[in-house]
Amino acid sequence: MTSAYDFTATTIEGEALPLARYRGDVLLIVNTASRCGFTPQYRGLEKLHEDYSEQGLRVLGFPCNQFGRQEPDDEAAIRGFCESTYAVRFPMFAKVEVNGPAAHPLFAWLTSQARGLLGSRAVKWNFTKFLLDRAGRPVRRFAPSVAPESLCGSIETLLQQPANN
């Protein structure tokens, strides 16, 4: 059975990172953009990271330029923006595509496992959120308009589950 731990992603610093590093953690995987109306959600995502990382939540940000060209910069500029504007300390990854034939394999898998509204596969916009349990399985997809702070209950429920489920 496939899980998020079967994938590797490139960090924003350019290093390949097997997601197996997060085995046993609850994951919140988000496609992000620096010039989007939802960009202030970085603040809420960082707050989730601060509040729950010691309990095993890992927020993982994946910049994407597929929606309105709202992430046109390179990784160094993205990292600088996230750190200086929103004090982001959760792991950020290199830019990816989340839809289409060039979609990162992680997102191709996520969208097949956690469907959107009316069963759609495609990610509709920046800041779509995928919440995964401690076994690396998608539990739920949240629309871009869902504020990170509204995920606390779902996150707390998953954090209370044992890592071996």
**CA proximity to 98, closest of 32, 1, 26:** 32
pLDDT in tens, 95-124: 999 999 999 999 999 999 887 666 677 899
**CA proximity to 50, closest of 76, 86, 11:** 86
DSSP 3-state percent helix, strand, coil across the chain (nearest 5): 35, 20, 45
Known catalytic residues are 36
- DSSP symbol at 81: H
pLDDT in tens, 22-81: 999 999 999 999 999 989 999 999 999 999 999 999 999 999 999 989 999 999 999 999
Superfamily of domain covering 4-160: Glutaredoxin (3.40.30.10)
Backbone angles phi, psi at 140, to 5 degrees: -160, 150
- Extents of the domains making up the chain: 4-160
